[in-house]
Structure 1
């Protein structure tokens, strides 16, 4: 039985104090290293590029002609932006395809491989040759009617492979797909509301 007035305090041995001190130092170092690694991860984490539709045109004023859109030029400009401050990007060949509903209007390579500097901007410009729709296609009547009405919904798709350059090492190559939904006016030009609209990016 403890006598009245006897202290409950039991002094720690030097070994125990040393172990407690080392544990505190170790936990502090782990916390500091964790914060440093988190900050580095935030600064080196690649951000995806952004794409904006700047222009699109097909000379379809004579949409009712006998050959439809066959052999007509399809021109477009999509502005690419690299939002990373310290990370560059390598692009493979960019392939462009234009669709009316599910029908392929035109397709082909539009840009050779290139390197995009950090915070850089590059216009992706292309001129393709349309293969349709033509008057013999089931979709021609609907297409010509929408042209006459002054608005045709279309889709521009860009595909490529992208590799991020992080300091002295490169990431794996990512398959990239960019979809730009747009409305073409009756004169074959881009509807003003769609100018500089952001495209959807899939990785």
Structure 2
């Protein structure tokens, strides 16, 4: 029987041997790796630059963080205000007119002369807050016409303290501004029922523990006063039982200093 001879390598599809002989020995062949097949079709990696943020998005982000910061500050201020109120229980000072006497009054078409004896009571209801007042200017008006002016001296208003302030408010032939309608004032004198309003202006600062405020402008208006004009050398007393005095801070923001 004839002896069979086996080839050293299988022929390739194109007729060439897939393996090559080294030292007379056929080189082994391996199947193609799947990763090599995948990478063969995958495009080369090219790093892309980071996307640029538009000016509009940056502006929106700034507005958002600014709003958040403002809200946080408002929250902290609210908490501080609540804590301050709970600890100190602050109240505005109160004022009342206890006595107003008219001893002289004379009205012409161009001038007015008047003299008042005026007593004002100031009360500080706070247990831990002290007020310091500058000199207080006083003006008495009937309608829109000023019929007397004066002042109270500066004073310190201690905690839970009541202070009586007395002064003479007067005017001597004070000129009436041109164009002022004095007919309502003449009618009141004729009816012996002169309506009056008292206006006080000053500056005040408060002390709370070791903290002091800067000076704050305040105005106190006492309305609803009526008095009959005096006759001869007599003195007329005004009705003050229904007088209400309103304290109006002229500046709403207080800056604290240590």
TM-score relative to the length of structure 1: 0.68
Task: Return the offset for 1:130.
Answer: 1.6
Larger radius of gyration: 2
Post-superposition offset of 1:162? 1.0
Q: Name stretches of at least 5 consecutive residues in structure 2 with no aligned partner.
A: 1-77, 231-235, 250-258
Name the SS for the 2:237 alignment partner.
Answer: coil
Partner SS, residue 98 of structure 1: strand
Aligned residue pair count: 165
Task: Report deviation, 1:46.
Answer: 3.0
Superposed CA deviations along residues 72-93 of structure 1, whole A, max 9, x for unmatched, are: 3222111110010111110011
1:183 to 226, 246, 250: 226
The answer for the alignment partner of 1:9 in structure 2 is none
RMSD: 3.2
Task: Give structure 1 regions of 4+ aligned residues with deviation exceeding 6 angstroms.
Answer: 34-37, 64-68, 133-137
How do 1:31-110 residues align onto structure 2 when only pairs under 5 Å count?
38-60=82-104, 63=106, 69-70=112-113, 72-108=114-150, 110=151
Residue matched to 1:171: 213
1:142 CA displacement = 3.6
Alpha-carbon shift at residue 163 of structure 1 (Å): 0.8
Q: Distance in 2 between matches of 1:77 and 1:40?
A: 34
- Gaps spanning 5+ residues in structure 1: where? 1-33
CA deviation after TM superposition for structure 1 residue 139, in Å: 4.7
**1:143 match: secondary structure:** helix
Q: Secondary structure of the equivalent of 2:203? A: strand
Secondary structure of residue in 2 paired with 1:59: strand
Q: Which has the bigger relative contact order, CA under 8 A and spacing at least 6?
A: 1
Give the alignment's TM-score, normalised by structure 2. Answer: 0.55
